[in-house]
Amino acid sequence: MTKKESIGGQAVIEGVMIRNQTHYAVAVRKGKKIITKKTRIKQRKSKILKLPIARGFINMVDMLVIGMKTLMWSADQAADEDDKITKGQFAFTIGVSFLIAILFFVALPYFLTTIIGFKEESSPFAFNLVDGIIRILVFLAYIITISFMKDVRRLFQYHGAEHMSVHCYEHNKKLTIENIRKYQTLHPRCGTSFIMIVLIISILVFSVLPSLVIYLFPNFIGLNIFLRKIILFFLRISFIPLIAGISYELLKLSDKFQGNPLINLLIKPGLWLQKITTQKPSKKQIEVAKASVEALLSSKKAKNI
């Protein structure tokens, strides 16, 4: 079987975005029509940004930017002319969402672990293991809760359609509704799996952080306990790029070495979670995902979103 270029994507509002290294395409259903748009991705020339670890964080940033653009574009297609979201409103919404994410998925587990009685400086692994478990439980509770919302369920169906279409493409099968339907909604290279790997890797990275700080700065232990907590908390935030980079490399390895027992163990939690974040799509939703892949692969000149 010929190895094809890697493609991936995400679900958007009533649609699917698919990308490769050079372009991304988005397709959305608007009434009885499917609207598609293809955009060229600006290439980074610096070789440093293409090195392992660094490329992982850069790729994450690129995916976030592309994801935001396509979400906003899909929202505009779904809205009436009077209800279209302005860039300012969208930026405000994203900013608030980011702050809420930091509060619930970083700050809340950290301070709950402290309240329970674990000490980060003296028992860093135990502290971060409990902190990581709480973080994962909070994330699972969030995913399960939103999965009951009608609009989110439709988004998860489009997510499933995206994965099924990618599987069909990767297996060198003709992109038809019948062929796409044969494939599962789970995919090891999914962003959901990436998030689960990030949560696991963060436990290991954060476990060595206090010892590293004490080793490099012996006077740190003599600081006020509140000040120490604040410093360690913000150091955690600063280590997110490193964790994202490591997680990206592991996700790439999971795709390259499928079948390896150790790799399978690493990606298994993400695949379990995808049983919630992906759902069986309808024929119309598969048609949209198919249109997105076809738009990406077409020789049609790209337009900017």
Answer whether residue 213 is part of any domain: yes
Tell me how far apart the alpha carbons of residues 121 and 213 are, in angstroms, rounded to a whole number. 10
Answer whether residue 218 is part of any domain: yes
Q: Give yes or no for residue 18 having a pLDDT over 90.
A: yes
**Is-contact 15 27, C-beta < 8 A?**
yes
Answer whether residue 90 is part of any domain: yes
Calculate mean pLDDT across residues 6-10: 91
Answer whether residue 305 is part of any domain: no
What is the structure's pLDDT at 62? 86
What is the structure's pLDDT at 1? 42
Q: Which amino acid is at 99?
A: L
3-state secondary structure at position 38: strand
Answer whether residue 3 is part of any domain: no
Token representation of residue 93:
């919404």
The pLDDT > 70 percentage for the chain reads: 95
Q: What is the pLDDT of residues 147-205, one digit of tens each?
A: 999 999 999 999 999 999 999 999 999 999 999 999 999 998 888 888 888 998 999 89
Tell me how far apart the alpha carbons of residues 21 and 8 are, in angstroms, rounded to a whole number. 10
Answer whether residue 1 is part of any domain: no
The enclosing H or E element of 36 equals strand 33-40
What is the structure's pLDDT at 261? 80
Taking the whole predicted model, whether its pTM rises above 0.85 is answered as yes
The pLDDT > 90 percentage for the chain reads: 43
Provide the domain limits for residue 205. 8-297
14-23, 43-52, 215-224: least confident range: 43-52
Indicate the Cα dihedral angle 268, 274, 280, 283, nearest 10°.
Answer: -110
Q: Rounded mean pLDDT of the chain? A: 88
Tell me how far apart the alpha carbons of residues 65 and 205 are, in angstroms, rounded to a whole number. 26
Furthest-apart CA pair in the chain: how many Å? 67
Return the residue matching tokens 């962003």.
191
Answer whether residue 59 is part of any domain: yes
What is the structure's pLDDT at 5? 79
Domain count, the chain: 1
Q: Give yes or no for residue 64 having a pLDDT over 70.
A: yes
**Confidence band for 42, pLDDT divided at 50, 70 and 90:** confident
What is the structure's pLDDT at 249? 87
Q: What is the pLDDT of residues 74-124, one digit of tens each?
A: 988 877 666 667 777 777 888 888 888 888 888 899 999 989 988 888 888
For residue 208, what are the β-bridge partners?
none
Answer whether residue 303 is part of any domain: no
What is the structure's pLDDT at 142? 93
- 53 or 284: which carries more pLDDT confidence? 284
